[in-house]
Amino acid sequence: MTRNQLHLALIGSGGDGVVASATMIMQTAARMGLYGIMTQSYGPQIRGGESAAYVSVSTDPIAVVGDHKDLVVCFRFSDVNPFRQEVAMAADVTLLHPKEEQADLPEVLKAKNLRRIPVPFQELLAAEGLPEIAKNVMVFGIILQALGWQKKYGEDCIKDIFSRKSDAVISANLRAFDIGYHHLKEKISLPTLSPKQVVKRELISGNELCARSAVDAGCRFFAGYPITPSSEIMETIYDLLPKVGGKLLQAEDEIAAIGMVLGASFGGVPAMTATSGPGLSLMTEMMGISSMTEIPAVIVDCQRVGPSTGIPSRAEQSDLWHALYAGHGDAPRAVLAPMDVPSCHRTMFQAFHLAETYQLPVLVLSDAIIAQSQQIIDNLETTGLPQGKRQTFQGNGGSPYLRFSLAHTNDPGWNGVSPIALPGTPGTMHTIAGIEHNEMGKISSDAKQHEIMNRKRFRKLDYLAEETASWFHIFGNPTAKHRVVAWGSVASVLERYVTTHKDMALFVPEILSPFPIAALQDFLAGARRSSIVEQNFQGQLYHYLRSLGTIDGKTEKICRSGGLAFSNDELDRLFQEGGA
Amino acid sequence: MTRNQLHLALIGSGGDGVVASATMIMQTAARMGLYGIMTQSYGPQIRGGESAAYVSVSTDPIAVVGDHKDLVVCFRFSDVNPFRQEVAMAADVTLLHPKEEQADLPEVLKAKNLRRIPVPFQELLAAEGLPEIAKNVMVFGIILQALGWQKKYGEDCIKDIFSRKSDAVISANLRAFDIGYHHLKEKISLPTLSPKQVVKRELISGNELCARSAVDAGCRFFAGYPITPSSEIMETIYDLLPKVGGKLLQAEDEIAAIGMVLGASFGGVPAMTATSGPGLSLMTEMMGISSMTEIPAVIVDCQRVGPSTGIPSRAEQSDLWHALYAGHGDAPRAVLAPMDVPSCHRTMFQAFHLAETYQLPVLVLSDAIIAQSQQIIDNLETTGLPQGKRQTFQGNGGSPYLRFSLAHTNDPGWNGVSPIALPGTPGTMHTIAGIEHNEMGKISSDAKQHEIMNRKRFRKLDYLAEETASWFHIFGNPTAKHRVVAWGSVASVLERYVTTHKDMALFVPEILSPFPIAALQDFLAGARRSSIVEQNFQGQLYHYLRSLGTIDGKTEKICRSGGLAFSNDELDRLFQEGGA
Amino acid sequence: MNDLNTIQRKPTDYRNEYKPVWCTGCGDYAVLKSFTRAFAKLNIPNERIAVVSGIGCSSRLPGYLDTYGFNTLHGRALPIAQGLKAARPDLTVLACGGDGDCFAIGTGHFPHAIRRNPDITYVVMDNSIYGLTKGQASPTTSRAFKEQKGLIGVEEPPVNPAYFAFSMGAPFVARTHAGNMAELSDLIAQGIQYPGFAFIHCLSVCVTYQGRGFQEEIDRHVHATPANYNPGDERAVFDLLRSDPFAMGVLYKKPLDEAAFDGNRDVPVE
Amino acid sequence: MNDLNTIQRKPTDYRNEYKPVWCTGCGDYAVLKSFTRAFAKLNIPNERIAVVSGIGCSSRLPGYLDTYGFNTLHGRALPIAQGLKAARPDLTVLACGGDGDCFAIGTGHFPHAIRRNPDITYVVMDNSIYGLTKGQASPTTSRAFKEQKGLIGVEEPPVNPAYFAFSMGAPFVARTHAGNMAELSDLIAQGIQYPGFAFIHCLSVCVTYQGRGFQEEIDRHVHATPANYNPGDERAVFDLLRSDPFAMGVLYKKPLDEAAFDGNRDVPVE
Ligand SMILES: Cc1ncc(C[n+]2csc(CCOP(=O)(O)OP(=O)(O)O)c2C)c(N)n1
Ligand SMILES: Cc1ncc(C[n+]2csc(CCOP(=O)(O)OP(=O)(O)O)c2C)c(N)n1
Ligand code: SF4
Ligand code: SF4
Ligand SMILES: [Mg+2]
Ligand SMILES: [Mg+2]
């Protein structure tokens, strides 16, 4: 039997090494020419509590973990409970569990044609005198055999992982792998995946890619403060920046972090920070001075469940309103959103392009799923991506420098941007301020001047909107009668959904503000039914699109709080019920 | 000649005492049974620079300073420039200026039938051996005579002001007043105002009234950090709280201020803070934990021009989006807005009522005009105002206490509020957290639990909206063909406007969120034309109302940046042009 | 209010039924126990106690106490505790949290809480790491450890918590470690009884991200203050605090009458 | 880059044409002059200088200099200056602001800027009042003044800025007052030349809200550090800083080689 996707779950707790085993599977898949995606989930315990890893491998690119598991390894039935809402069994699921497990099978693990295989994990290790710690490698072996993957790939993977360890360690692990690989006597009838091309691909998380692509896009300064689920961006870019002569500061809080970013950017250096909801809320005042002083800044927000501390490890799309509207006063900004791991690459280029070109703050709304997923991806192209540079002022022979020059106001081609003279440039000294000011940057409390400067600052958005009018994707048949709009990780769930629902088309904006309104209107034209699907309680995108006049009351609002990805079953139900 | 309003401007700089003289006029008007309103304006200099005071006195309540001045005292023509956009002359304006002023009359002071009266201020004082400092009292005397007001009222006012000073000081000032009062030999033909009732009324600013009404409404704790134009709220309530056993802390920043408020409120004490845009932005994260832990808090925001530091002393309505939408996650809140000084009273009662009853953060959007205006007001009624108390839990005989009890979820009459057990109550100990939690307050990372708690928190808003559905005003003829919506200080300018435009009706919400939608829909039904008028660049109320589906593209968006109040002339022009 | 002396409460009477989420071996378990022992020692009615924390592994502590508690925002325990104490001086208010909570994002509130000198006992559980966010360097992480683990901020010398508190004018400054529950519970009790702001710096190991080397180092070096040490002699305090991070016990103490300058401590807001 | 020695710049070369908004008699005028004198003394090309401030009367200062400047947000001069200096170590970066800016809302950034020890000179213009917001008590307002004027926070003792900086580990700490422009400009120049974080506490009168009594008190008490004073002896520094708020000059100075631990000071980000 051949299929093009397989879905695995590993569930256990501290010491079981479920994440380690799952990562080895992913690395092996990447080595074989398969695609795959992996997410993790935790119980309430800080470390050592229940944890689950979900892996989907596929012959084609895959960005969303599959709903119904084909193979489940569960080390303790009592560990399943925290994950009961997020795992579902395929009808013919294979379940591996310890031989010693005496408890009744939990409801969630039941399935019509369940194949239940007890494994004496403990005994197997003990028999060979292997330490407890080798369990994850042994489990990796068992799974590899069950998947029917070649032993060689598994061995290569282990050699790689332990390449910096002693030979003794390597051979012990190879032995554990071997025991696992040969344990199952009867063949498990899992379908076989045949890679379309034998090529080694890369395994990377959304956060890692955000960091790397930021540097590729020109980022040379980072300041941040740790917060789940964004910290890996700082940790990754910390390794990358020194290689390109960049600098990083770990700040004492998020206000300082974005402040440092603005300081570096004032110095002419493309700069960014990354955070999650609570940190983003703290950055609100600083975002305003970025708008006001026209100093570029890129801010990545890995959205988690809110409000307040919420659920730090789980994704939600409820920071949208904050990104669009937060901050006292009228403060222009741009808001972008990747929809999966690989699109983080494009998004980061767009972010630096817009920030540097239009001299304003750019928010990137990632989320916990995109941030933390490990995905096998193809080589990423950089050519063709926008890579704007800041328009600097080098002197114009004598006439005084105007930081916020309005000289071209009457030129319809002017995009509102005034060239910036960087510190160090002779003859163009000036001071900028968050206080309202005139062309020279001089403080002004004149109301008419304020209106003029507001016009200048927002003029940039008009031209930016023109440039980004095509920053969206359409999936499915654009003339299908049911048209759906979604963004972020929810969009990739819907992308998958529309491939099997031919009566549906999907619109995914890459930029949320300014929204590609004209494109959306085109997309919706002639629809018999339209829905906005999102993961937050209030329907933030829905109301935003209504505020723009782009949709009316006939479009459905389909939303619920975050924390769990939509499954196809749930989407079936939601579309059946119809939205509010 | 009788009229029912007179408009004065006093313009000078440090040492001229324009504000002092203007205040004496207001105090005298209050004493005579007249109404009045006074605003101030400053040039860029911190202190001692140009300043102007605008006074309107009236036989009827008046909330907006008049556009065209009947009497102007200008101490230096060169001081006029910073105020050129905000003063306009009546055709028959009377201008008093120093005899020594040699400069040409500035454009703005010109008028068709200008009556120009040079006054030897310096000489008059010198002749009597009076010190420079007495000038403001002398000017007060001159104006009083020009207005034709009885000398006795002026004398009483002076005795009052200097009541704690020595007899020598009092008599010197009475002398200065006398010189002024008898200076003008020829009678100025200013119209006479006859009070309808001789009664002493109160002169108070919006900020002072916010503070006083908060205490009347039950506020017993305040924490704040100084910021223009809100600081007088803290300064006033600092005097009031000790008298009722309340406490106040001046915080090290706004985050600490709102934190202290939440701490006090967790202790069961109704508490508030006051700030302006930059401080409000800093409070964003704390607002979220107020929503999440269902701990009441009242936050007054005296809006000034933004973004960033903006123009600290001038009003704008550009914090609306922030108030409605800021903060990561879905975080319920209520947003109120007074429209003039006296309505601050009602608003503060509403604010404490909603915060305490529904256990959530309540924002009050005042603005620099309301905050800083001195207005003569009638006695304020407290009966009939909402005065909800927090629903506390005193024990129910044994069953465990659930801080966020959902027991009544299926009861359609339940408003989502769970009774709170205050620290000190035996048997109901519990811990609350900004982390998502279950009924008991125990931390939970369960996505379904999160949805359930979101429903609970937002259920409160549904019931709150029902209660506040009638919190709005309609001015003018409700069947007029042109229907206008405005809020805050802009609403009082429009209230004045519709009294002379009989084809217009005005809708003013007292509560902005949840918005009284049904009432607005009723109001707009059958309109031939409708406009949303506001003072911010983006049309924040307009887009918000569209997001709610309450208005559609046919309603006009009429907005411009803040900094200056709309004049009637400008409104004429804006309505002529029509909105976007 | 219950009479303090009618019943004698046991430490376990101050624990609720929730199981801590902490890793096995985490120092915070001992801190939790020490809180309950201090409460029992003073026999404070559960309902009179309120514990306010920030965010971090350590800040989960109030959730396991059968008292009132508020697990607030990262870095904000002190403002919230001060508001509560100002409004409700009749309560016994404690604050607690981690080294990141207090000395990174919370830095700005610490000197001002000290200046206001409210009658609050503040226990900082210092594992010299950001535990909850998986092991980044905190302001108290040693340079050697940062170097060894490749953490960010290697050049930055660590903050010295007790010295910081003393320099800002805290009237009661003590230090101990989670390995010494007897001393910790005694110091917490002393802090509660002290009529002003009491700061307790408690070294508490993060087994997961700092590793057991942290505890071993503590065990190796820990010692009481010298026999002739006078915690009222500010010069001696200065010398000790700058030179000796392992002296344990009460490090600084202002005479009681100087400390309690807020005369109005027990009248709640009406 | 211009050769430092080709032209000799005068103090007025560092002033732009804008007229300060300060009140007549405000101490900040003298601070502004002292900045320009220090720049001229070191003959730094205007374009190599960047001055970052917060919000307050004092924070308007960069707007009057013919250098690069960033008048940022209340309390945030230091993070922004640090980001700038980290990205552009080739620039001479100074920060300035008021006592409220640094010791109220900015408190949390101060110890961490000191720990990172960037080559920034930070001048705090301390008028012991919130000038721009019309005279509320700041963290440095004396209790006597608060009492006299009925300001909020009477019970709270003032922050001691130089001692705060020293306690946090600032390697260069100096104090003077706006009335002594010679000393102030000399200290600013020393701060700029010092290869680490230099903190200069400058008493500067707010004639409008503190009143002239402030300057009179300074004039009455001001004096140089004792002749035998050694600003490298930490014990002596401790004693002086805690006891004498009017000793002027360099109060603490770490030897240069210890101070400059960032080896990479002059390579801007590529
Ligand atoms: C505003 C904000 N920023 C960042 C975080 C992420 N965060 C949670 S706990 C923590 C630090 C934990 O370290 P510490 O305070 O020392 O406590 P520990 O976990 O070590 O006990 C951080 C950075 C947050 N919750 N909120
Ligand atoms: C976030 C924020 N909070 C408050 C303010 C209001 N504010 C402006 S300056 C200032 C304090 C001024 O005092 P200081 O820093 O000592 O400077 P000075 O005016 O005395 O020179 C305050 C509170 C603000 N601008 N931003
Ligand atoms: S991560 Fe560290 S601090 Fe957190 S619970 Fe585990 S051991 Fe304790
Ligand atoms: S208010 Fe004070 S600090 Fe501000 S400019 Fe005037 S004198 Fe200077
Ligand atoms: Mg820690
Ligand atoms: Mg000051």
Provide the residue ranges of all domains of chain B, joining segments of one domain with +: 5-200, 204-377, 391-467, 472-577
Residue C5: what pLDDT?
57
Nearest residue in chain C measured CA to CA from B432: C70
Q: Would you say the CB of residue D138 lies under 6 angstroms from ligand 2?
A: yes
Q: Is there a contact between B278 and D73 if contact means CB atoms under 8 Å apart?
A: yes
490-519 in B: which are within 8 Å (CB) of D? Answer: none
ipTM score assigned to the predicted complex: 0.97
Q: Would you say the CB of residue D76 lies under 6 angstroms from ligand 2?
A: no
Residue A345 CB partners (closer than 8 Å, separation 6+): A209, A213, A216, A380
The number of C-alpha atoms within 13 Å of B30 and in the hemisphere containing its C-beta is 21
CA distance D227 to B321: 61
Question: What are the residue ranges in chain A where pLDDT is below 50?
Answer: none
Q: What is the share, in percent, of chain D residues with pLDDT greater than 70?
A: 93
* Best probe residue, ligand 1, of C73, C132, C140, C159 (max atoms within 8 Å of C-beta): C132
> Separation of C118 CA from ligand 1 center, angstroms?
25
Nearest residue in chain B measured CA to CA from A315: B447
| Fold observed for domain B472-577 | Rossmann fold (3.40.50)
Where does ligand 4 bind, in terms of residues with CB under 6 Å?
B 46-47; D 22-23, 26, 28, 57, 127, 131, 206-209
User: Is D56's pLDDT higher than 70?
Assistant: yes
Q: Is there a contact between C23 and A47 if contact means CB atoms under 8 Å apart?
A: yes
Residue A147 CB partners (closer than 8 Å, separation 6+): A6, A25, A57, A71, A190, A192, A193
Closest chain C C-alpha to D30 CA, distance in angstroms: 30
Amino acid at B347: T
Contacts 24+ apart (CB under 8 A), B101-106: B101/B76, B101/B77, B103/B77, B103/B78, B104/B77, B105/B77, B106/B77, B106/B80, B106/B81
Residue A397: what pLDDT?
66
Contact status of C208 with chain B (Cβ, < 8 Å): no
Q: Is there a contact between D82 and A431 if contact means CB atoms under 8 Å apart?
A: no
Of ligand 2's listed atoms, the one at least distance from the Cα of D59 is 21
Closest chain D C-alpha to B347 CA, distance in angstroms: 26
Q: Is there a contact between A267 and D84 if contact means CB atoms under 8 Å apart?
A: yes
> Separation of D23 CA from ligand 4 center, angstroms?
5
Question: What are the residue ranges in chain B where pLDDT is below 50?
Answer: none
Give the number of the ligand closest to the Cα of residue A255. 1
Closest chain A C-alpha to C257 CA, distance in angstroms: 36
User: Is C264's pLDDT higher than 50?
Assistant: no
Question: From atom 1 of ligand 3, which residue's Cα is the shortest distance away?
Answer: C131
Confidence of residue C6 (pLDDT cuts 50, 70, 90): confident
Question: Which residues span the domain enclosing C116?
Answer: 23-258
Q: Cβ(D85)–Cβ(D33) under 8 Å?
A: no
Q: Would you say the CB of residue C140 lies under 6 angstroms from ligand 1?
A: no
Strand partners, A377: A202
Q: How many domains does chain D have?
A: 1
Q: Would you say the CB of residue C130 lies under 6 angstroms from ligand 1?
A: yes
Closest chain B C-alpha to D33 CA, distance in angstroms: 19
Is residue D16 situated within a structural domain? no
Helix H segments across B468-514?
488-499
Out of A263, A286, A431, whose CB is closest to D71? A431
Q: Is there a contact between C108 and D112 if contact means CB atoms under 8 Å apart?
A: no
Residue B251 CB partners (closer than 8 Å, separation 6+): B223, B224, B225, B257, B259, B260, C79, C112
User: Is D266's pLDDT higher than 50?
Assistant: no
Contact status of C154 with chain A (Cβ, < 8 Å): no
Q: Are strands B482-485 and B504-509 parallel, antiparallel or unpaired?
A: parallel
Residue A260: what pLDDT?
99
Closest chain C C-alpha to B404 CA, distance in angstroms: 14
CA distance A108 to A131: 32
User: Is C118's pLDDT higher than 70?
Assistant: yes
Residue A358 CB partners (closer than 8 Å, separation 6+): A296, A334, A415, A416, A417, A460, A461, A463, A464
Nearest residue in chain D measured CA to CA from B251: D104
Q: Would you say the CB of residue C126 lies under 6 angstroms from ligand 1?
A: no
What tokens does A164 get? 């910096």
- The residue of B266, B299, B432, B444 whose CB has the most chain C CBs within 10 angstroms, and thus the best one to mutate to test that interface, is B266
Out of D22, D26, D133, whose CB is closest to B226? D133
Q: Is there a contact between D107 and C107 if contact means CB atoms under 8 Å apart?
A: yes
pTM above 0.95, yes or no: yes
Tell me whether domains A204-377 and A472-577 share a fold.
yes
- Per CB-CB distance under 8 Å, the chain B contacts of C46 are 426, 429
Closest chain D C-alpha to A247 CA, distance in angstroms: 7
Residue B399: what pLDDT?
79
Is residue D264 situated within a structural domain? no
* CATH 3.40.50.300 correct for A204-377: no
Q: Would you say the CB of residue C55 lies under 6 angstroms from ligand 3?
A: no
Q: Would you say the CB of residue D132 lies under 6 angstroms from ligand 2?
A: yes
Q: Tokens 């002639």 sit at which residue?
A: A526
Q: Would you say the CB of residue C127 lies under 6 angstroms from ligand 3?
A: yes
Q: Cβ(B142)–Cβ(B99) under 8 Å?
A: no
Q: Would you say the CB of residue C99 lies under 6 angstroms from ligand 1?
A: yes
Cis check: omega of the bond before B118, within 30 degrees of 0: no
| Fold observed for domain A5-200 | Pyruvate-ferredoxin Oxidoreductase; domain 3 (3.40.920)
Neighbours of B129 (CB within 10 A): 8
Contact status of C253 with chain B (Cβ, < 8 Å): no
Q: Cβ(A274)–Cβ(A224) under 8 Å?
A: yes
Nearest residue in chain C measured CA to CA from B222: C83
Q: Would you say the CB of residue C207 lies under 6 angstroms from ligand 3?
A: yes
Residue B189: what pLDDT?
74
- Per CB-CB distance under 8 Å, the chain B contacts of D136 are 226, 231, 234-235, 250
Cα dihedral C238/C239/C241/C245 (nearest 10): 170
Least confident segment among A104-118, B214-228, C254-268, D166-180? C254-268
Q: What is the share, in percent, of chain C residues with pLDDT greater than 90?
A: 90
- Domain of C27: which CATH number? 3.40.50.970
Residue D1 CB partners (closer than 8 Å, separation 6+): D45, D48, D90
Residue D270: what pLDDT?
52
- Per CB-CB distance under 8 Å, the chain C contacts of A254 are 105
Q: Is there a contact between B46 and D21 if contact means CB atoms under 8 Å apart?
A: yes
Q: Cβ(A492)–Cβ(A512) under 8 Å?
A: no
Give the number of the ligand closest to the Cα of residue B251. 2
CA distance D224 to D248: 5
Residue B3: what pLDDT?
84
Conformational region of residue C56, where left means phi above 0, alpha means psi within -120 to 50, and beta covers everything else: left
Question: From atom 13 of ligand 1, which residue's Cα is the shortest distance away?
Answer: C130
- Per CB-CB distance under 8 Å, the chain B contacts of C85 are 263
What tokens does B494 get? 């429009």
